[in-house]
Amino acid sequence: MKTLNGSCLCGSVAFKVTGEPFIFLYCHCRSCQKSSGSVHVANLGFPLDSVSWTRGDDLIGRFVDAKDNPGFTRCFCRNCGAALPKLSRNQKFWVVPSGLLDSDPKMRPQGNIFWAEHAPWYVPVEQIPTFEGPYVEQGAAPNGGPATHPGNSGVTGGPAIGKLNR
């Protein structure tokens, strides 16, 4: 049986997953956008008996939305704030954030859910340039402007980023 290991950003909470994922989806719902700070999350579904904590289970925090999306749950590391595996709403399977895994789950995303809520600024990754390192090292912004804004201590972006940091 296949075993995958994973952990939070600071490494204080760790887990293992045994078995195969049965689904891999990008979720675009507003709750996932707000809880991740990103355009979508990338979650794997695993059977109920497949996840076990190997370190730091006493550091797992839990937020359950009672207002905007009642029942939406976010589990996170109390030290670094990283998302952690959680039980699905129906409590029948584990939802595991793919970025926590230390190795390739050997499954690729199969679909986008809650597409009606996707961010209007979402652009498919294959439609935007890619860079090997931090954007600041690339020389210039795509719009021809400087890669860093004067006075931003290396924060990347154009003038709009600079205005946010003042």
Tell me, yes or no, whether 22 lies in a domain.
yes
The pLDDT assigned to 136 comes to 67
Q: What is the mean pLDDT of residues 33-61?
A: 97
**pTM of the model as a whole:** 0.80
Tell me, yes or no, whether 42 lies in a domain.
yes
Q: Give per-residue pLDDT as tens, 126-148.
A: 999 888 888 765 555 555 555 44
Q: Which residues contact 72 (CB under 8 A, 6 or more apart)?
A: 31, 35, 64, 65, 89
Same domain? For 71 and 137 the reply is no
Split into its structural domains, the chain has a count of: 2
Distances (CA, A) of 134 to 51, 124, 143, 148: 34, 20, 17, 11
Q: Which domain holds residue 144?
A: 130-160
Of the candidates 7, 114, 96, the residue with the CA atom closest to the CA atom of residue 47: 96
Same domain? For 29 and 69 the reply is yes
Q: What is the mean pLDDT of residues 151-161?
A: 41
Q: Give per-residue pLDDT as tens, 76-94.
A: 999 999 999 999 999 999 9
Cα radius of gyration (the chain): 18
For residue 62, pLDDT over 50 is answered with: yes
Q: Give per-residue pLDDT as tens, 99-119.
A: 999 999 999 999 999 999 999
Q: Do 96 and 51 form a contact (C-beta atoms < 8 A)?
A: yes
The pLDDT assigned to 95 comes to 98
Name the residue type at position 142: P
Q: Do 13 and 85 form a contact (C-beta atoms < 8 A)?
A: no
